[in-house]
A and B are shown apart, each in its own frame.
Chain A
């Protein structure tokens, strides 16, 4: 009953909790009846989805090794491709339903990891496009819900997705492959623009650790000499890793504590940061301390450049309610060794900060540079408005 050896290794490598493992193993052994290929594929698929969900739940705690968003995006897209290939669906509408259902589960597993939701919306948009293309109607203007269309179209386009096309599956999978290729090339695309933005003998400031910014700076360092100041970003101090990594490429780096951000800002020429999410209004949800950095840059009229690939763009708006902030254990802030006062004190350790779009000068993404006021337009090209709520 053992299908592919990699499956078993998947379980052991991820080290999921005992019960889940035994449950899944039992499921595997008991649920597979007499060699039905479709049933095999289904269980295989649900296993993969379960493993992905558990990994999402675990990695978001902040204490383990933080996965890069690029990896998450890639894995989500690969999983969606697998769902398209292996799940049972008859027409586009059913496929979209399946994907939406799985998508809701995935975003519920780790709400702060927005790339998962973004990829799902991209795939849904791909499906819509492929469907429209198969139908033969050249409706590129379908996305723009103009008033005219609303008046003249009459019914909603929901029931339009019931038609069955034989080549739809192949087309969708091909389009998803294109999306994967695009994802793989994002960091390189962004780094290629580095020389247009960094001149020699500059002092650049950054905060925390962003793989995109790291690649960006390393690419520029091949041709230009400049100085980088890294704010260490307590309490996880990821700035230290960033600094050591930059030093390997012989970039002059200085590590400063968060408290010194405003003090040294007057000598900084540019601030280049990465972000966790780009919100629909052009604002950012970035690592904590970024808002202070942005305000200091604004005070000194220093340009603030955000390097963010397109898969981080999310159609959410910032709402300062419970859903925006994520907290991790306050043990990082006030350790248990401070025992006596610990019980009488509230300690907070938020992970993210909101940065309003007025403080940002430029977004650099894999499709080029944009102002924050243009973000809404890019979003409408990537996602269909009906998919904003999964």
Chain B
């Protein structure tokens, strides 16, 4: 909303409105600081709902499909869980004052803002008047999952999760004490990674939820458990499972009285998303899928009946899955098969659903090649890929990643899958991918990355430290002949185990990226993102 955005930009200070009277800004800022300390417990859905109502009244000219109140903050692309705390942190003022202020400000702003860009609102609402080359604020809010070392951020997250319990109180039953659990870290964290979470697989977050669960839909609980135990793994699998769970949620959803589906449903989804990100940090593909859903939900016209709206949403989700994942993989296979010639020796790493699909298709089209599957501890995902390829009848060789230098002279091409493609051309993928690309470059073997466009994300990253995921460190303990050396690693003071999940590959190691839009070099990712933004 105009109102909230103005307030936010005053707080954040990025708005480019030069015509704005500066004195008014400063006065408002002082008032905010005054009220900030008194109003901590009044924050919550009652306040929010009232704000929404107030805001909706003085803004008849705005398109009705604006995003709900608490999404005013610029949304970072990959973590939807960070949206609500920002607006919630805004200090609440007394209602009459707020109303008056807003009216006054809005009148003046509306006058000055005609034809000026809205700027800075990266929310998922549709903005038909936003031009593609508007300036975005440079600093997006940092996602929660990389601020583990900051106690202030952790406190905010805990409060937000508590609050989300209350926000689910649209329905009749009020079981207090049920909240989105805050998962605690496990084990000694290597100091370089103290800003990331490290969870143990033995303590799933569902242990802290009492039954029956009213806040979180059971299919989401199941999904979260499957994520945290590693039962569903892989970027595409996780996104598809998420979308199916959301379909179920939408099916079971019923609009409470005095609520609009387009706003309330999005509110309902927020605690689910927080829960899922507690189970396992969201992937880039999941983040994009969630953005899409939220946008679609907000686009539902308010006159639409509930059944109709649900049907529309289910269709949207189905078409998203079909278009972005299934058809995309068909298109990518088509392009990739042109690159596979007879007599090739192809190296693949780990288990990428897309690469497996490409190889199976190529085999069906009677290409003659053999595959070398490289695998790494502790996940050993390559064995799954091996099973699938062997079932198809493809000739395979299997080695561990430490034998890479031995096997690479035989290889003619390397096919890699990706978890996400970052805007500066870096490829984020399973840990070990960058190593494969490095050694392949040293032996002059071409490296081809296969990635659907829905995994492109606007983040930039240059190393594997600032934003990563730490897996359960107990996975590294291995027994050979029944004995291990690292059994009691927790008791040893100076020993740490590091189990990274992702790493980033620099674009100079990658020769080609095969996407559903065609074959592009790594550095063309921001172009594709720009084209996508224009389309939307």
Residues of A in contact with B (beta carbons under 8 Å apart) = 232-237, 240-241, 243-244, 247, 250-264, 266-267, 288-289, 291-292, 295-296, 299, 320, 325, 333-334, 338, 341, 344-350, 353-354
Contacts and interface: CB of A to CB of B under 8 A. Distances in A.
A292 B396 contact: no
A203 B397 CA distance: 36
Nearest to B190: A254
Contacts of A261: 435
A259 B435 contact: yes
Interface stretch (B319-327, B332-340, B451-459, B495-503): B495-503
Contacts of A235: 400, 402
B376 interface: yes
Interface stretch (B174-182, B360-368, B478-486): B478-486
A69 B293 CA distance: 63
Contacts of A345: 386, 390, 396-398
Most chain B Cβ neighbours within 10 Å, of A235, A257, A260, A291: A257
Nearest to B376: A259
Contacts of A347: 397-399
Nearest to B468: A263
A267 B431 contact: no
A259 B377 contact: yes
B430 to A, nearest CB: 8
A289 to B, nearest CB: 3
A254 to B, nearest CB: 4
B406 A254 contact: no
Given A295-B439, A296-B438, A299-B438, A252 B494 contact: yes
A236 B480 contact: yes
Interface string B378-389: 100001001100
Contact of A232 (B377, B434, B463, B504): B377
B390 A344 contact: yes
B432 interface: yes
Given A259-B376, A267-B465, A240 B478 contact: yes
Given A240-B486, A255-B486, A296 B435 contact: yes
Contact of B378 (A257, A325, A333, A346): A257
A271 to B, nearest CB: 14
A247 B493 contact: yes
B438 A247 contact: no
B406 A244 contact: no
A299 B463 CA distance: 14
B57 interface: no
Interface in B371-428: 376-378, 383, 386-387, 390, 396-407, 409
Interface string B166-191: 00000000000000000000000010
A139 B492 CA distance: 58
Contacts of A288: 402-403, 405-406
B233 interface: no
A350 B438 CA distance: 20
B403 A349 contact: yes
Contacts of B400: 234-235, 258, 333, 349
A347 B386 CA distance: 11
Given A258-B402, A291-B405, 5 more contacts: A244-B486, A253-B495, A258-B401, A292-B439, A350-B403
A291 B401 CA distance: 11
B192 interface: yes
Given A288-B403, A350-B403, A260 B432 contact: yes
A252 B386 CA distance: 38
Contacts of A252: 494, 496
A256 B496 CA distance: 9
A254 B493 CA distance: 11
A261 B436 CA distance: 11
Given A254-B498, A259-B432, A353 B480 contact: no
Contacts of B147: none
B442 A338 contact: no
Interface in B464-490: 464-465, 476, 478, 480, 484-486
Nearest to A343: B390
Nearest to B442: A295
Contacts of A338: 383
Contacts of A241: 485
Contacts of B499: 257
A223 B476 CA distance: 31
A354 to B, nearest CB: 7
A266 B402 contact: no
Contacts of A289: 401-403
A183 to B, nearest CB: 28
Most chain B Cβ neighbours within 10 Å, of A241, A260, A350: A260
Contacts of A254: 190, 495-498
Nearest to B408: A291
Nearest to B406: A350
B169 to A, nearest CB: 44
Contact of A292 (B192, B377, B402): B402
Contacts of A257: 376-378, 431, 476, 499
B188 to A, nearest CB: 10
Given A237-B478, A263-B500, A348 B399 contact: yes
Contact of B396 (A236, A263, A325, A346): A346
A259 B152 CA distance: 34
Contacts of A255: 476, 486, 495-498
A247 B495 contact: yes
A267 B192 CA distance: 9
A315 B121 CA distance: 69
A333 B398 contact: yes
B406 A353 contact: yes
Contacts of A354: 405
Contacts of A291: 404-405, 439
Given A244-B495, A247-B492, A353-B406, A292 B435 contact: yes
Nearest to A352: B406
Contacts of A320: 409
B389 to A, nearest CB: 9
A291 B336 CA distance: 30
Contact of B431 (A250, A263, A296, A333): A263
Contact of A263 (B402, B434, B486): B434
Nearest to B387: A341
17 contacts: A232-B476, A236-B480, A240-B478, A240-B486, A243-B485, A243-B495, A244-B495, A247-B493, A256-B498, A259-B432, A263-B435, A263-B503, A266-B464, A266-B465, A333-B398, A345-B386, A346-B398
Nearest to A350: B406
Contacts of A234: 376-377, 400-402
Contacts of B190: 254
A257 B400 CA distance: 11
Contacts of B404: 291-292
Contacts of B396: 344-346
Contacts of B463: 266
A261 B464 CA distance: 11
Nearest to B370: A346
A346 B395 CA distance: 9
A258 to B, nearest CB: 5
Contacts of A292: 401-402, 404-405, 435, 438-439
A266 B478 CA distance: 27
Given A259-B435, A299-B438, A341-B390, A233 B493 contact: no
Nearest to A333: B400
Contacts of A243: 485-486, 495
